[in-house]
Structures are given as C-alpha cells and as structure tokens.
Copies of this chain bind each other. A is one copy, B any other.
Amino acid sequence: MKQSVYDLTQQHRSIRQFKDEPLSKETVQKLVEAGQMASTSSYVQAYSIIGVTDPDIKQALKEVSGQQHVVDNGYLFVYVIDYYRHSLINNETKGNMETSFESAEGLLVGTIDVALAAQNVALTAEDMGLGIVYLGSLRNDVERVGEILGLPEHVFPLFGMAVGVPSDDEQGSPKQRLPFEHVFHENQYNSDKTQQLEQIKQYDKEIQDYYQKRTNGKRSESWSEQIRKMMSKKTRPDILENLNVKGFMKK
C-alpha cells in the first residue's frame, strides 16, 4: 500500500548525491504536469520551468552555484517567475498591465506561484522514490543565470532543483525542524520576547545534541549560531538591482 502524503513529508531530506540514472522523458513530463496543477493566484500561472540536460549549460550553472550536484544528478530543473507572456498580451492590447506585474505585489504573486508548483514537483518526485534538493544557490548570480538560459525581460530565475535516484552513500535522516509550538500560533501571533528567546534556547540545545550524535561529537553548532553566521554578511546584495533590470519591483 502507498503511504500517506503526511508520512511522505515526514521522511523528507535534501539529497545531494545521485546515481548516474537520468530521468526518462515521461517522468520529467509527469513532474512538470504535477507542478502545473498547483494553485495559482487568479489563474495567472506566472512561471515557467526549464529542464536542463545540455552538459555545457549544466556546467555553466554549476559555476554559479558552486555545487557539484548541479551537474551530477538525474535531472535539473530551473524555476523562473514568468510574466513574459503577460507582457506580450499587454503589448498586443496596448494595455497598462505592467502596473501589476512590475509591482511588489506582482513579485510576491510570481514567487508564490513558482514555489507552489515546485513543491508539487518535489513531493511527486519523492513519492516516485526519487530524491530532490532545491538550489537557491543559482541566485548567487542571477544576471549570469539569465545569460546562460536566455531569459528575456519579465522572467526571473528563482531557484533550481536537482532530482534523481539517491546514491547509496546518501545516508542521513530528516533534519529536525523548529518545534511545532514555535511555528504554530493560535488566533494571534505570540510575540512575547522572553518566551520566544526561551524557545530558541531550547531548540538550540536539541540541534546541538543532534549534531553531536551524528558527528560523534565533532560538530555541535546550535541553530542560532548557524543562522547568525549565515545572515551576518549580506547575501546576494545584487538581487534588487537585478529584479529591476528584469522588469520587477519597478512600480
């Protein structure tokens, strides 16, 4: 018997090492079709999905991301916000739709549309026994990604996704998330500072224990240490400028 989607979600972990088994065309098509059926804001369908198999293009994208699994995988998807077809409709009808799709709201709509579609792909792939990893690392250089993939105005690359049969070396277990009570609020947001700081401390301990056990004591970084290190220098400072260049966040 197939497992429930709930059970499937609880087994998720990112897979970064894949067997050398390319996905079939049929599988790729099914994954994209699954993505397309996700909810979309007011039927806007503001995304496209680029499937990359060309070794030179994969290599070029790998240079942006710095990750070997951008090249070595069963298949590589790149997910882009796409208002290009909306802009063509706009030109044909001499409209002013750009006030919508070039606004902050337009960026949110597009980003949400892309992510809902991508997560449908992710769960569908995992249900087929495949592993996935999101590649936010493509945002290291969105200008370059735009060149590599030939992205026109009103198209913006959000992230990639490597998919494939997990390698036998890929051990590990799902990574512990923030406890349910930290993330879930009843009726109103609980912004009590003392309580939230207490929760973070408690979670930090759990994560330290988890790493210590997994690495035989070699690593014992807490969650807040990781987050502090990661966020203490501005990552991807060129995103806003590149959004503007591509016709986003202008109005």
A245 within 8 A of B: no
Contact present for A38 and B53 (CB under 8 Å): no
Number of copies: 2
Most buried by B among A180, A223, A227, A251: A227
Contact present for B9 and A37 (CB under 8 Å): yes
Contact present for A95 and B232 (CB under 8 Å): yes
Which residue of chain B has the shortest Cβ distance to A113 in the bound complex? B115
- Seen from chain A, the residues whose Cβ lies within 8 Å of a Cβ on chain B are 1-6, 8-10, 12, 14, 29-30, 32-34, 36-45, 47-54, 57, 80, 84-86, 88-90, 92-93, 95-97, 99-101, 103-105, 108-109, 111-112, 114-116, 118-120, 122-124, 126-128, 132-134, 136, 139, 149-152, 155, 158-159, 174-175, 177-178, 180, 182-189, 191, 193, 196-197, 199-200, 223-224, 226-228, 230-237, 239-240, 243, 249, 251
With A105-B236, A119-B119 already in contact, 5 other A-B pairs whose C-beta atoms are closer than 8 Å: A6-B34, A40-B177, A43-B223, A50-B186, A89-B224
- Which residues of the partner chain B approach A155 to less than 8 Å between Cβ atoms? 189, 191
Contact present for A101 and B231 (CB under 8 Å): yes
Most buried by B among A9, A120, A158, A251: A9
Which residue of chain B has the shortest Cβ distance to A236 in the bound complex? B105
The answer for the CA separation of A83 and B84 in the assembled complex, in Å, is 32
Contact present for A134 and B89 (CB under 8 Å): no
- Which residues of the partner chain B approach A193 to less than 8 Å between Cβ atoms? 88
The answer for the CA separation of A2 and B231 in the assembled complex, in Å, is 42
The answer for the CA separation of A81 and B185 in the assembled complex, in Å, is 13
Which residue of chain B has the shortest Cβ distance to A126 in the bound complex? B5
Query: Taking the nearest CB of chain B, how far is it from the CB of A152, in angstroms?
Result: 4
- Which residues of the partner chain B approach A180 to less than 8 Å between Cβ atoms? 29, 32-33, 36
Contact present for B139 and A9 (CB under 8 Å): no
Contact present for A38 and B12 (CB under 8 Å): yes
Which residue of chain B has the shortest Cβ distance to A157 in the bound complex? B189
Which residue of chain B has the shortest Cβ distance to A29 in the bound complex? B180
